[in-house]
Amino acid sequence: MSAEAPRSPAGLPPRDGPPYLEMRGITKAFGSLLANDHVELSVRRQEIHAVVGENGAGKTTLMNILYGLVHPDAGEILFEGKPVRIRGPRDAIAAGVGMVHQHFQLVPVMTVAENVVLGQEPGGIVLDRAGSVAQVRELSERFGLIVDPTARVDTLPVGVQQRVELLKILYRGSRLLVFDEPTAVLTPQETDELFEIFRGLVAGGKTVILITHKLGEVMAISERVTVLRQGRNAAVLETARTSPAEIARAMVGREVLLRVERDEAHIGAERLRLDGVKADSDRGLPALAGVDLTVRSGEIVGIAGVSGNGQLELAEVVAGLRPVTAGHVYLEGRDVRDQSAAERRANGLAYIPEDRHTRGLILPFEVKENLILGSQSKPPFAVHGQLRWPAIDERATSLIRQFDIRPPNPDAPASSLSGGNQQKVVVARELAEGPKVLVAAEPTRGLDVGATEFIHRELVEKRDEGLAILLISSELDEIFSLSDTIAVIYQGRIVEVMPSAAASRERVGLLMAGGSVEEVTPSAAQIAQAAALQAAAAASSAQDYASREGSS
Amino acid sequence: MDIVGLFVTVFARPDLWAGTLRFAAPLTLAALGGVISERSGVVNIAMEGMMLVGAFFAVLVAAATHDIVLATLASVACGGLIATVHGIASIHLRANQIVSGMAINLLALGLTSFLMFRFYATSGTPSDIPALPDLKLPVIYGIPFVGAVIGDQNIVVWLSILAVPITWWFLFRTRLGLRIRAVGEHPRAADTLGVSVFEIRYLCVILSGLLSGLGGAYLSLSVAHSFSDNMTSGAGFIALAAMIFGKWHPVGAFLACLLFGFGQSLGINLQGTGFPDQLVAATPYVLTIVALAGFVGRAVAPAADGIPYEVGE
Ligand SMILES: Nc1ncnc2c1ncn2[C@@H]1O[C@H](COP(=O)(O)OP(=O)(O)OP(=O)(O)O)[C@@H](O)[C@H]1O
Ligand SMILES: [Mg+2]
């Protein structure tokens, strides 16, 4: 299926000669684990090249090698046919590579401008602060990436933070832009905007490598796809001549059901009820403005909404991590207002938090320790206040097998796992104790198609066994394929609850956006922005920011 | 009434204020060093040891060469050298920075005591060593009160005061300062932009050693005019407290040092008046504890302070 014939998509200049970037025979072992095993990657100039693969397939490792953050054991990197030695990010930047990392690399307490210019600041000994602000403002206007250069980064929503990351690499004049799962934290609208930006950049002469787990995105934007499986090349596919099913098969090595099979729900007694719940956000502003909601045994209730409309607070209020300012939360009919998070857990509540790094895991702890967190003082894991390691090992081994956590090593620190496998650890732990109510916030964020399918099946299975599930997701696909009942949240209020059989995407989408009538055709502003981007990108490659005097 | 009268008299003494500046000077130098080091993400509780080493070698070189410039340079260099040890342990070897700092303090104490015994066991340090000069300011010296407070201060007092705006400017206005703060907050982000975390951290730790070493030289060559075992007697830790009290900011740390210097000076000026001067001397530290307990707003350390950086995590 791999087609090597050069092809020039309409509207782009022909691209002859050697590929723009070639990575040959890249090999990297972490201990006994081969993260990259003779991996080949070839990217043409002005291509949008997708790199896909299961969690832990080695995508981030490969890109970190390209960026000089990880040193390969073997292999070479060539730009336009010429070998280049990349010893660190400095070399990569000099070679024209820019990278937006899977986890953002921004200094939260500094301003946008400071984050952008860091390492290549204007000025002599003294930092030219006005100059930095002016340059960043000019850049953001030229590329249509609207952001206030003087704002502190930690005050910005994630979508805007991503723009800052993009400005960082544009400022450095990078010609090869690497994005490691940029859309994982974006809303569908933000994703569309980002892709519009990609198209503009490519038309202006840049080349893009995109890592994503969302096959829809691969199909929508990429020209070719490199598929990795367990550290090795599995396929190189022309997007125009392939299908999501074929990509998924290459990734996983078997057929993948991209749709969940779901029987009729057998809905039982009420398990979780919220009655007029109000709560504040971390900044002390009202985040929930009177939420009424019921989840019954054997039912999945999906909360649809644009992130930031109170979903996080809703999950935390139920989990017992955030005080309610008014209203009541009932678990199996009992008011749990005065119950701590631990007491709620003991009473059968499980919680898959949205942010696995800060809430879901203790990263330096071993996988097996993470797998029993929350149950660590109960038998069989602890007797007379002492941990019983045989029982812990046994639980860990069985969960690792059941959830296919890779590498299957209970003693590895959680921090060494790939993002997707970290998520599996959280899900495995939360389902292990046979909960009665589960709050699942973005349960498949960052997961590959196989793992997503697995977790979806697991959730549906538990629901068939009578678990009551409150599913919070910013992926409409996930909401629609899992939920029995869909509730739309907007500005801290549940604006409508409907059986999923009766719900249409259009209606849910409309309610998520606040119920206002949306324009169907792209607005004039969007079209103008795309045109401006193309022109700006072309101009910038001519001037080439890279020629700016470097750091140190 | 009596007490009020006593304090009015004491507060009117120029000695009290001149003493405040004198006591604050070495604290300020060490505290600024601490600010620079911790802003880059390396916890530094070793100022005490660096000062002690600086103090000893200042005397040693002064006695041998009778050259005050060489003696001062030696103390600064030795402070920097021992700071490098802390740097290697906490940056390259990723040791626990508190443990490393403590080890440096103990090492400095042992080393200087040993050398003291080795060189000056019987007689104590020689008394004919040169001193750091006082600066007699022409016009100002003649002004009543003011002249007595600042008209004849030691050169290091002026240097320490000058170091405050310079440190502020360095950290908050220069390109290097931006990098230092970025490394202290989010080393990974800095690394991905080609900023060398290790280089920056070494630079900052060594700078803290240079400043502390100068503070030590001031203690031995100006204040005491000799060296004795453990002569810093906790000044480095007071500087550490000042750094935290000052919220890792050069100006804040300086103000805290002035407060501590004032406390010491007040204690001395109350001696012989019958007032329990130890009580007064203790007030600044009580204030620090109150401040640290959160009454003056929470003190926030740089986010990556004390966390060793690992490449390719
Ligand atoms: N610093 C490290 N130490 C040990 N193992 C590591 C390290 N970094 C990555 N690995 C392992 O290497 C393998 C590949 O990881 P990598 O992060 O490249 O996967 P990925 O394809 O990006 O996965 P995901 O889609 O989940 O982000 C994983 O098994 C991971 O556990
Ligand atoms: Mg990854």
Read off the pLDDT of residues A211-223 as tens digits, 9 standing for 90 and up: 998 898 999 999 9
pLDDT over 60 (residue A61): yes
A58 alpha carbon – ligand 2 mean position (Å)? 7
Please give the Cα distance from B248 to B306 (Å, whole number): 14
pLDDT over 80 (residue B300): no
Determine the pLDDT at residue A552.
32
Closest atom of ligand 1 relative to the A420 alpha carbon: 26
Determine the pLDDT at residue A8.
42
Residue partners of A22: CB distance under 8 A and separation at least 6: A40, A41, A42, A43, A77, A78, A79, A81
Q: Which residues of A touch B313 (CB under 8 A)?
A: 415
Determine the pLDDT at residue A329.
95
What is the overall mean pLDDT for chain A? Answer: 86
In tens, the pLDDT along B3-39 reads 788 888 888 899 999 999 999 999 999 999 999 999 9
Nearest ligand to the CA atom of A415: 1
If asked whether residues A360 and A292 sit together in one domain, one would say no
Determine the pLDDT at residue A484.
94
Angle, CA of A523, A220 and A35, to the nearest 5°: 135
Of A424-438, B66-80, B292-306, give the lowest mean pLDDT range.
B292-306
Of A71-80, B124-133, B284-293, give the lowest mean pLDDT range.
B284-293
Q: Which residues of B touch A153 (CB under 8 A)?
A: none
If asked whether residues A281 and A143 sit together in one domain, one would say no
- Kind plus residue range of the DSSP H or E element containing B37: helix B14-39
CB atoms < 10 A from the CB of B250, how many? 25
If asked whether residues A362 and A417 sit together in one domain, one would say yes
Q: What is the DSSP letter of A152?
A: B
Determine the pLDDT at residue B291.
66
If asked whether residues A86 and A171 sit together in one domain, one would say yes
Q: B183, B186, B192: which to substitute to probe chain A, counting the most A Cβ within 10 Å?
A: B192
Residue partners of B221: CB distance under 8 A and separation at least 6: B58, B59, B62, B68, B71, B72, B75, B129, B130, B131, B132
Q: Please name the member of B173, B186, B192 whose beta carbon is closest to the beta carbon of A89.
A: B192
Instruction: Give a yes or no: residue A217 inside a domain.
Output: yes
Range of the domain at A419: 356-433
Residue partners of B116: CB distance under 8 A and separation at least 6: B56, B125, B227, B228, B229
Does the CB atom of residue A443 touch ligand 1 within 6 A? no
Determine the pLDDT at residue A9.
45
Q: Write the CATH number for A494.
A: 3.40.50.300
Instruction: Give a yes or no: residue A133 inside a domain.
Output: yes
Q: Whose CA is nearest to atom 22 of ligand 1?
A: A60
| Residue in A367, A418, A421, A452 to alter for ligand 1 test, most ligand atoms within 8 A of Cβ | A418
Nearest ligand to the CA atom of A212: 1
Q: Which residues pair with A472 in a beta bridge?
A: A303, A441
If asked whether residues A152 and A224 sit together in one domain, one would say yes
Does the CB atom of residue A222 touch ligand 1 within 6 A? no
If asked whether residues A503 and A376 sit together in one domain, one would say no
Q: Is A38 left (phi over 0), alpha (psi -120 to 50) or beta?
A: left
pLDDT over 60 (residue A14): no
**Last-in-domain residue among A433, A466, A500:** A433
pLDDT band at residue A3 using 50, 70 and 90 as cut-offs: very low
Please give the Cα distance from A520 to B182 (Å, whole number): 44
Q: Which residues pair with B94 in a beta bridge?
A: none
Instruction: Give a yes or no: residue A535 inside a domain.
Output: no
If asked whether residues A59 and A38 sit together in one domain, one would say yes
A492 alpha carbon – ligand 2 mean position (Å)? 32
| CA max distance for chain B | 68
Query: Using CB atoms within 10 A of its CB, is residue A385 exposed (0-12), middle (13-18) or buried (19+)?
Result: exposed
Please give the Cα distance from B33 to B82 (Å, whole number): 13
Residue at token pair 């849910």: A508
Determine the pLDDT at residue B98.
94
Determine the pLDDT at residue A167.
95
pLDDT band at residue B292 using 50, 70 and 90 as cut-offs: low
If asked whether residues A295 and A230 sit together in one domain, one would say no
Q: What is the mean pLDDT of residues A188-192?
A: 81
B194 in Cβ contact with B201 (< 8 Å): no
Please give the Cα distance from B166 to A109 (Å, whole number): 22
Q: Please name the member of B175, B182, B311 whose beta carbon is closest to the beta carbon of A107.
A: B182
Single-letter code of the amino acid located at A484: D
pLDDT over 70 (residue A200): yes
pLDDT band at residue A16 using 50, 70 and 90 as cut-offs: low
Residue A429 in tokens: 């732990």
Determine the pLDDT at residue A550.
35
For residues A481 and B3, which has the higher predicted lDDT (pLDDT)?
A: A481
Closest chain B C-alpha to A121 CA, distance in angstroms:
6
Please give the Cα distance from B35 to B91 (Å, whole number): 17
Q: What is the mean pLDDT of residues B161-183?
A: 97
CA A485 to chain centre: 25
Residue A218 in tokens: 């691969």
3-state secondary structure of A473: strand
pLDDT band at residue B263 using 50, 70 and 90 as cut-offs: confident
C-alpha closest to that of B16 among B27, B4, B26, B6: B6
Structurally, how many domains does chain A consist of? 3
3-state secondary structure of A421: helix
For residues A505 and A528, which has the higher predicted lDDT (pLDDT)?
A: A505
In tens, the pLDDT along A157-177 reads 777 888 999 999 999 999 999
**Last-in-domain residue among A433, A467, A497:** A433
Nearest ligand to the CA atom of A35: 1
A472 in Cβ contact with A319 (< 8 Å): no
Residue A222 in tokens: 């990429």
Instruction: Give a yes or no: residue A362 inside a domain.
Output: yes
Percent with pLDDT over 90 in chain A: 61
Q: What is the mean pLDDT of residues A261-278?
A: 89
Angle, CA of B6, B9 and B10, to the nearest 5°: 85
Whether residue B178 and residue A118 make contact (CB cut-off 8 A), yes or no, is yes
Determine the pLDDT at residue B69.
96
CA quadruple A330, A332, A336, A339: dihedral, nearest 10:
-160
Q: Provide the ipTM.
A: 0.89
pLDDT over 70 (residue A29): yes
A500 in Cβ contact with A483 (< 8 Å): yes
B311/A contact by beta carbon, under 8 A: yes
Q: Which residues of B touch A415 (CB under 8 A)?
A: 313
Domains of chain B: 3-295 (1.10.3470)
| Residue in A409, A416, A425, A454 to alter for ligand 1 test, most ligand atoms within 8 A of Cβ | A416
CA quadruple A511, A513, A519, A523: dihedral, nearest 10:
-170
For residues A499 and A379, which has the higher predicted lDDT (pLDDT)?
A: A499
Of A2-16, A231-245, B292-306, give the lowest mean pLDDT range.
A2-16
In this structure, are strands A21-30 and A74-79 parallel, antiparallel, or unpaired? antiparallel
Determine the pLDDT at residue B313.
44
pLDDT over 90 (residue A58): yes
Instruction: Give a yes or no: residue A233 inside a domain.
Output: yes
Please give the Cα distance from A30 to A64 (Å, whole number): 13
Q: What is the mean pLDDT of residues A389-416?
A: 92
For residues B139 and B106, which has the higher predicted lDDT (pLDDT)?
A: B106
**Last-in-domain residue among A384, A405, A433:** A433
CB atoms < 10 A from the CB of A5, how many? 5
Please give the Cα distance from B78 to A275 (Å, whole number): 68
Size of interface A-B (CB pairs under 8 A): 78
If asked whether residues A156 and A282 sit together in one domain, one would say no
Q: What is the mean pLDDT of residues B258-266?
A: 90
Q: What is the DSSP letter of A155?
A: G
Q: Is B193 left (phi over 0), alpha (psi -120 to 50) or beta?
A: alpha
Residue A269 in tokens: 């007694």
B94/A contact by beta carbon, under 8 A: no
Determine the pLDDT at residue B312.
58
Angle, CA of B164, B168 and B172, to the nearest 5°: 175
3-state secondary structure of A38: strand
pLDDT over 80 (residue B93): yes
Determine the pLDDT at residue A541.
47
Instruction: Give a yes or no: residue A308 inside a domain.
Output: yes
User: How big is chain B, counted in residues?
Assistant: 313
A428 in Cβ contact with A371 (< 8 Å): yes
SS3 per residue for A208-248: EEEECCCHHHHHHHCCEEEEEECCEEEEEEEHHHCCHHHHH
Determine the pLDDT at residue A542.
44
Please give the Cα distance from B178 to B168 (Å, whole number): 12
What is the overall mean pLDDT for chain B? Answer: 90
- Kind plus residue range of the DSSP H or E element containing B85: helix B68-87
B303/A contact by beta carbon, under 8 A: yes
Please give the Cα distance from B27 to B18 (Å, whole number): 15
Q: Which residues pair with A97 in a beta bridge?
A: A176
Q: Whose CA is nearest to atom 24 of ligand 1?
A: A55
In this structure, are strands A82-84 and A74-79 parallel, antiparallel, or unpaired? antiparallel
Q: What is the mean pLDDT of residues A390-396?
A: 94
Does the CB atom of residue A450 touch ligand 1 within 6 A? no
If asked whether residues A446 and A423 sit together in one domain, one would say no
Q: Whose CA is nearest to atom 6 of ligand 1?
A: A416
As a 3-state breakdown, chain B gives helix, strand, coil percent values, each rounded to 5, of 70, 0, 25
C-alpha closest to that of A422 among A371, A385, A459: A371
Single-letter code of the amino acid located at A357: H
Instruction: Give a yes or no: residue A48 inside a domain.
Output: yes
If asked whether residues A374 and A449 sit together in one domain, one would say no
Q: What is the DSSP string of B230-245?
A: TTTTTHHHHHHHHHHH
pLDDT over 50 (residue A545): no
Instruction: Give a yes or no: residue A529 inside a domain.
Output: no
Whether residue A125 and residue B311 make contact (CB cut-off 8 A), yes or no, is no
If asked whether residues A69 and A36 sit together in one domain, one would say yes
Residue A520 in tokens: 């169907």
